[in-house]
């Protein structure tokens, strides 16, 4: 629809870290750098890995923990290098149907929350069952990209 799309994602590995007790903005900053060090060679194979998009952040209702993740590039999906930072881990996300709402501009935590609420309202109005207790933010652009930015919020279909 013009308001959202339904995507099917296959099972895939992501490299993640959980930041506790910070604001979402600060958690994203800290989490990004932990994951960036991993792809720059802070892993058991000491290899550099290409940066991928999106960078996701798991937002759970009433929870101050934020899980920040990078997608593991396809060439490393079978056997990703293991992180040497104990705060960083490889996770496998199972295949899922995901409702996605896209928007432009520079996304703040407030803007992500606002877009997630719009998507949730649309899905409820259309009788689409989804997991309402969490959503993901997804950012696709470098902070240096000024125009035609792409951001998303994701709700998992029940």
How many domains does the chain divide into? 1
Instruction: Give 37: exposed, middle or buried? Use CB within 10 Å, 0-12, 13-18, 19+.
Output: middle
What's the CATH code of the domain at 115? Answer: 3.20.80.10
- 51-91 pLDDT, tens digit per residue, is 999 999 999 998 989 999 999 999 999 999 999 999 999 99
The pLDDT confidence band at residue 142, using thresholds 50, 70 and 90, is confident
pLDDT of residue 144: 86
3-state helix, strand, coil in the chain (%, to 5): 25, 35, 40
User: What pLDDT, on the 0 to 100 scale, is given for residue 122?
Assistant: 98
Range of the domain at 36: 5-156
């Amino acid at each position: 629809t013009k308001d959202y799309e339904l995507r099917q994602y296959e099972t895939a590995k992501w490299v993640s870290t959980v930041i506790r007790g910070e604001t979402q903005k600060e958690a994203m900053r800290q989490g990004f750098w932990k994951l960036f060090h991993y792809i720059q060679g802070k892993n058991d194979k000491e290899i550099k890995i290409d940066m991928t998009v999106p960078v996701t952040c798991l937002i759970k209702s009433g929870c101050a923990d934020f899980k920040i993740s990078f997608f593991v590039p396809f060439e490393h999906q079978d056997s990703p290098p293991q992180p040497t930072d104990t705060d960083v881990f490889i996770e496998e996300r199972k295949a899922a149907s995901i409702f996605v709402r896209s928007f432009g501009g520079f996304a703040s935590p407030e803007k992500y929350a606002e877009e997630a609420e719009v998507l949730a309202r649309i899905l409820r109005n259309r009788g689409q069952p989804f997991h309402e207790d969490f959503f993901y933010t997804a950012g696709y652009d470098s902070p240096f990209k000024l125009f035609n930015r792409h951001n998303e919020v994701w709700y998992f279909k029940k």
